[in-house]
A and B are shown apart, each in its own frame.
Chain A
Amino acid sequence: MALVLIIITGILLSCNKKTEEPAAVPSGKVIFSIQHMVNGTPLHENDLSYTNEAGNQYLISDVKYFISDITFYKHDGSTTLIHQWKDIFYIEEDIPATKTIQFFDPLPAGAYDSINFIFGISESKNKSFMFVNPPEVNMAWPEVLGGGYHYMMIDGKWKDTAGITQPFNFHLGIGQLYHGNTSNTDSIYAFVQNYFTVSLPGSAFTIQDGETKTFNLQMNIESWFKSPHTFDFNHWGGAIMQNQNAMQMVKENGWDVFSISGKKHCRLVKVINDSKREVLSRQ
Chain B
Amino acid sequence: MKDAMINITAKPSVRCFICRLAVLSFIFLPCFVFAQERRHIDTVILSEVEVYAKKVSIYPIEPILIKDFNFQPVHDLGDFLRQQPNVSGIRKGGVAIDPVVRGFKYSQVSVLLNNGVKIEGGCPNRMDPVVSHVENEEISKIEVIKGPYVLKYGPVMGALINIQTTQPESFTQPSIHGKVLFGFESNWNGQREHIELSGGNKDVYFRASAGYKGYGSYTAGNGELFSTSFRKSYATVDAGFRINENHRFMINYTYDQGNNVQFPALPMDEQLDRTNITSLNYEALNLGKTFNSLQVQGYFSSVHHVMDNFNRPSAQTMQAVTTVDAWNAGGKLVGSWKAGDKTILTGIDFEHIYKDGQKQMTMKMVMAGDTFTSVKFANVFNRALWNNAGLFSEFQSRFGTIDFTAALRLDYNQSNSADTFKLVKDGVSWFDNLNSNYLNFSFNAGIKKKLVQEFYLTASLGLGTRSPSILERYIKLMPVQFDSYDYLGDPQLKPEQNYQFDLGLDYYLPGLGSLTANGFLSLVHNYILGKIIPPSVIKPSTQGVLGVKQFSNVDLVWLTGFEFSFQSPSQKKWGIMATAAATFGTNPAAVKYLIANGQVTGEETVNNDPLPEIPPLEGSVQFLYKFLKQKLVPRVIIRLVNAQNRVSEAYGEQKTPGFVTAAFALSYAPCQYFSVSAGVENILDNPYYEHLNRRIVGSSEKLYEPGRVLYINLMMQF
Residues of A at under 8 Å CB distance from B? 1-2, 4-6, 8-9, 12-13, 15-22, 29, 83-88, 97, 100-104, 128-133, 137-138, 140, 142-145, 147, 169, 239, 241, 276, 278, 280
Contacts and interface: CB of A to CB of B under 8 A. Distances in A.
15 contacts: A1-B503, A5-B521, A8-B560, A9-B519, A15-B607, A84-B536, A103-B601, A104-B600, A133-B543, A137-B543, A140-B374, A143-B373, A145-B372, A241-B367, A278-B594
B602 A22 contact: yes
Contacts of B621: none
Given A8-B560, A18-B608, A132-B318, A100 B536 contact: no
A97 B607 CA distance: 31
B649 A142 contact: no
A128 B140 CA distance: 52
A138 B318 CA distance: 11
A137 B368 contact: no
A259 to B, nearest CB: 23
Nearest to A132: B543
Contacts of B599: 86, 97, 101-102, 104
A129 B596 contact: no
A31 B560 CA distance: 44
A19 B606 contact: yes
A86 B534 contact: yes
Contacts of A276: 606, 649
Given A12-B558, A22-B602, A17 B374 contact: no
Contacts of A100: 597
B584 A9 contact: yes
A241 B367 CA distance: 10
Interface residues of B, number: 54
A188 to B, nearest CB: 13
A6 B519 contact: yes
B541 to A, nearest CB: 6
Interface in B585-603: 586, 589, 592, 594, 596-603
A129 B376 contact: yes
Contacts of A2: 503, 505, 517, 519
Interface string B28-65: 00000000000000000000000000000000000000
Nearest to B559: A12
Contacts of A5: 501, 503, 519-521, 560, 562
B657 interface: no
B448 to A, nearest CB: 13
A129 B374 contact: yes
A157 to B, nearest CB: 15
The 9 closest A-B pairs by CB, nearest first: A142-B372, A5-B519, A143-B374, A87-B536, A20-B605, A85-B534, A18-B607, A15-B608, A9-B560
B687 interface: no
Nearest to B589: A20
B572 interface: no
B651 to A, nearest CB: 14
Nearest to B361: A129
B600 A133 contact: no
A131 to B, nearest CB: 7
Contact of B363 (A1, A85, A140): A140
A88 B598 CA distance: 15
A127 B94 CA distance: 38
Nearest to A18: B607
A18 B590 CA distance: 11
B634 interface: no
A276 B373 CA distance: 47
Contact of B596 (A86, A131, A280): A280
B609 interface: yes
Contact of A97 (B318, B597, B605): B597
Contacts of A19: 592, 604-607
B608 A16 contact: yes
B611 to A, nearest CB: 12
A86 B535 CA distance: 5
Contacts of A131: 539
A15 B373 CA distance: 55
A137 B459 contact: no
Contacts of B521: 5, 8-9, 12
Given A16-B608, A85-B600, A142-B374, A132 B457 contact: no
Contacts of B561: 9
B545 A133 contact: yes
A72 to B, nearest CB: 16
Contacts of B459: 1
B317 interface: yes
Given A1-B457, A2-B503, A21 B374 contact: no
A20 B609 CA distance: 12
A239 B363 contact: no
A150 B501 CA distance: 58
A85 B335 CA distance: 56
Given A5-B521, A97-B598, A129-B541, A85 B376 contact: no
A278 B596 CA distance: 9
A137 B372 contact: no
A145 B373 CA distance: 11
Contact of B586 (A13, A18, A83): A13
Interface string B533-574: 011100111111100000000000010111000000000000
B541 A144 contact: no
A129 B520 CA distance: 47
A103 B562 CA distance: 46
A86 B593 CA distance: 14
Interface string B258-300: 0000000000000000000000000000000000000000000
Nearest to B504: A2
B604 A142 contact: no
Contacts of B372: 142-145
B609 A17 contact: yes
Most buried by A among B318, B536, B586: B536
Interface in B364-400: 365, 367-368, 372-374, 376
Contacts of A88: 535-536
Nearest to B609: A17
Interface string B453-466: 00001010000000
A242 B541 CA distance: 28
Given A1-B459, A169-B368, A12 B601 contact: no
A155 B163 CA distance: 62
A145 B298 CA distance: 55
B226 to A, nearest CB: 24
B540 A133 contact: yes
A129 B598 contact: no
A89 to B, nearest CB: 9
Nearest to B598: A97
Contacts of A128: 363, 374, 376
Contacts of B368: 169, 239
Contacts of A8: 521, 560
B10 to A, nearest CB: 50
Contacts of A12: 521, 558, 560, 584, 586
B536 A132 contact: no
Given A9-B560, A13-B584, A104 B543 contact: no
A22 B604 contact: yes
A100 B365 CA distance: 28
Given A5-B503, A131-B539, A276-B649, A147 B374 contact: yes
A22 B368 CA distance: 50
A52 B97 CA distance: 62
Contact of B544 (A6, A133, A138, A147): A133
Contacts of A9: 519, 521, 560-562, 584
Contacts of B608: 15-18
Given A1-B457, A5-B520, A6-B519, A142 B367 contact: yes
Contacts of B365: 140, 142
A63 to B, nearest CB: 18
B607 A17 contact: yes
A203 B157 CA distance: 58
Contacts of B519: 2, 5-6, 9
